[in-house]
Amino acid sequence: MFIMISGFATFEGTKKFAENSGVNKDNFKEFQSLYLSNVGIGTYLGDADTRTDELVTNAVKQSVLSGVNVIDTAINYRSQKAERSVGKAILELIQEGKTTRDQIFVSSKNGYVTNDADVQLGFWEYVKEEYSQKGILKEGDVTSGYHCMTTSYLSDQLDRSLKNLGLDCIDLMYLHNAVEGQIKDVPKEKFLDNLKSVFKLYEQKRQEGKIRFYGMATWECFRVSNDNLQYLSLEDMVNMAKEVGGENHGFRFIQLPYNMNYDQALLGKNQLFGTENISILEAAVRLGIGVFTSVPFMQGRLLTPGTMPDFNNLKPSLRALQFIRSSPGVLAPLVGQKSVEHVLENLEIMKIPPMSESEFLALVKTLTS
């Protein structure tokens, strides 16, 4: 029997999680009336097989038991199997009495064209059978980057994500690499018109109770200089959301790559705010946007001895996480971890508080001088 779990993350639920998590109390940030752990689990990498399903499910469960209540996935990760693994973990945790739906914050992403690893069809066969023949995709809807942001496709993908996760509401739905997946084929002005339609769709899905918030999970657009075709102004995005959804709009989060090597979010002053050039992290703070970050270890490359400067007597993985989560404006780095050993090792960071702002700024000064 297929079970759909109702509800979503709430102030009371997440506060209770924070209080009972057994980790340092400073490792939760209150944002949008939610208490969110300052480390989250990501589910991007891995083969689309049963063994990886099990690893991901166990890693999500162990992360929640270690004090993490932020879980991030996407429909195209492992061709829909990542979402299913997350859904199984949540269901088991709830059935085992380890948590409740209102204590955990779940985000997913849509926009890329994906097949289904559990359906024995080739990629394009699946696309034809599941999307084209049903009128969900029309000719010209998919870009050369395998991306689609028509409202019929995104609406279909949201329903699939809900089913994969076994949830009747997703806390945060991101539009996935929108500019990055579209701009080679779509003029910027047309792209912005399409983006407004997507924001309208997401506001409608909030009204329907299928999502609580929406955002943009990005790679380039908030880090590149403003003369780059992929550039987006965060202030413009917030204004677009206000135009579509009023002051209580749901556009409250972004995701971008950030670590000690990819430091543009902190040091690049590419966002114009009034007449001032500021970083995307500073712009997010001023605009009330929460930032989750991807690639904390650059898929392990940052963990090689000598790659990152030493500080606080921490081992490399903890140093990487401490730097990111202590950055003003960052809610949490999202860590892709599949073995229980890695989860336990990485989440040792939850036993100590993040650096204070003055400690962090002093560290950045030594790194940049």
> For residue 75, what is the domain's CATH number?
3.20.20.100
Is the pLDDT at 364 greater than 80? The verdict is yes
For the chain, give the percent of residues with pLDDT over 70: 99
Give domain status of residue 1, yes or no. Answer: no
Looking at residue 286, its pLDDT comes to: 97
Give domain status of residue 139, yes or no. Answer: yes
Can you give the residue range of the structural domain that contains 300?
Answer: 11-368
For the chain, give the percent of residues with pLDDT over 90: 92
Residues 26-38, mean pLDDT to the nearest whole number: 98
CB within 8 A of 362, min separation 6: which ones?
A: none
Residues 296-320, mean pLDDT to the nearest whole number: 91
Mean pLDDT over the full length of the chain: 96
Cα–Cα dist 234/272, whole Å: 9
Pairing of strands 290-294, 330-336: parallel
CB within 8 A of 13, min separation 6: which ones?
A: 100, 101, 102, 103
Helix (H) or strand (E) holding 170: strand 170-176
Give domain status of residue 5, yes or no. Answer: no
Residues 181-188, mean pLDDT to the nearest whole number: 97
368: pLDDT confidence band, cut at 50, 70 and 90? confident
What does residue 243 show for φ and ψ, rounded to 5 degrees?
Answer: -60, -40
Give domain status of residue 117, yes or no. Answer: yes
Total structural domains within the chain: 1
Give domain status of residue 4, yes or no. Answer: no
pTM more than 0.95: yes
Looking at residue 3, its pLDDT comes to: 84
Give domain status of residue 122, yes or no. Answer: yes
CB 176, CB 161: distance < 8 Å: no
Give domain status of residue 342, yes or no. Answer: yes
Give domain status of residue 27, yes or no. Answer: yes
Cα–Cα dist 131/314, whole Å: 49
Beta bridge mates, 119: none
